[in-house]
Amino acid sequence: MAAEIRSLTGVRGIGAALIVIYHFGKIRLDWINPIWPIPHGYMAVDLFFMLSGFVIGLGYRNAFAEQFSKNYGAFLIKRVARLYPAYIAISILYVLKLAFGLAGEETLSRFGRYDVIGNLLMLGGWGLHIYPLIGVAWAASAELGSYILLPLLMKGTLQRGIISWSFCVLASIFAIYAIAVSGLGYSGPLDVVETTSLYPLLRAVAGFTFGLATYRYAENLDRLTAKSQDAFLIVTLVALVVAACATTNDFPVYFLLIPLIAILSRDGRLALLLFGNKLVYHLGVISYSIYLLHPLFIRFTALSSRHFGATPLAYTICSLVSFVVIWGLSYLSYRFVEIPGRNLITGLLLAKRDGAVTAPAPSSPTG
């Protein structure tokens, strides 16, 4: 298998775009109805968690089996180097927005010392009652928790037999069910993001585990012909759309993400055409910055549209302008913050770790 799977990077970009459209679409110009509701749009985050688990399994399964202590330390350093530069830089933009009174009634006085430290350490997704500076950053925080648990998760899903694998899968199914019936979901049963609960962390760990478990057996799809793989992808995509539109139940959508990742991981002809093309792949590359940056513009877009009559058309046009700005800023963030920051941190902290494993970046906005 190639060091990077273009289709998985591309679907990461599609997921990030869906999250942006979903959040912008939740605005209620008439104070009653969302401007353009995206059914189950919040579940793109679950796609990210599964993608990350899959690609981490690809990159580190053998490395952890050979030199665990050395490679695990290097792995964590690389994850921090991947997450923190853009997170810190974009956090500064959020602070400036609050400082200049551009966030409505919310001000910097809302953040106590505990909140400041928790946000700096990216612990908002661990149920520690930390008031978030970047609301969507809970996913990056929760995924960081999955990275810390990786040795345990990888041993259960990849390094032991089918009984251990089955136990991990069943435990993850139970975890997702517990989240869904918790009553804490905002827009749907699995839309649990509350920073006072451990459920967001559990949501990330469960998705990460499903990704690892899927990686173990995904290569069996190579037995299919190219035409059969393309047909598999078409059926999965159609089933996803039907499930998303036909029911409010999150489970069909959630579990259809698993075969989607599995078939995309083979980088077949149709997969590359739809998800590996230059545009979609580019979105995947800059998806982490897209994910963190886009909430900055939602309120501004809504207020701007009110100057033009607050109609759906006005809001749509203003949103399109915002999307272009988000895209441009995300590219700049990736080019001048993410890459230099990652190189700086890994250069400083891994300089003496000769032979530490080099693995592909996880296919998720947070990794």
pLDDT in tens, 64-77: 877 777 789 999 99
Query: Distance (Å, rounded) from C-alpha 160 to C-alpha 346?
Result: 31
Q: Which domain holds residue 313?
A: 6-349
Number of domains within the chain: 1
Total Cβ atoms within 10 A of residue 343: 12
**Which segment of 70-79, 93-102, 253-262 scores lowest on mean pLDDT?**
70-79
Does residue 221 lie in a domain region?
A: yes
Does residue 185 lie in a domain region?
A: yes
What's the pLDDT band for 363 if we cut at 50, 70, 90?
Answer: very low
Does residue 357 lie in a domain region?
A: no
End-to-end CA distance of the chain: 20
- The length of the chain is 367
Total Cβ atoms within 10 A of residue 351: 8
Does residue 284 lie in a domain region?
A: yes
Does residue 366 lie in a domain region?
A: no
**Which segment of 170-184, 283-297, 309-323, 349-363 scores lowest on mean pLDDT?**
349-363
Does residue 361 lie in a domain region?
A: no
218, HSE (Cβ side, Cα atoms, 13 Å): 27
Does residue 360 lie in a domain region?
A: no
Number of H helices, E strands in the chain: 16, 0
Question: Could you report the per-residue pLDDT of 21-76, keeping only the tens digit for each?
Answer: 999 999 988 777 889 999 999 999 999 999 999 999 999 888 887 777 778 999 99
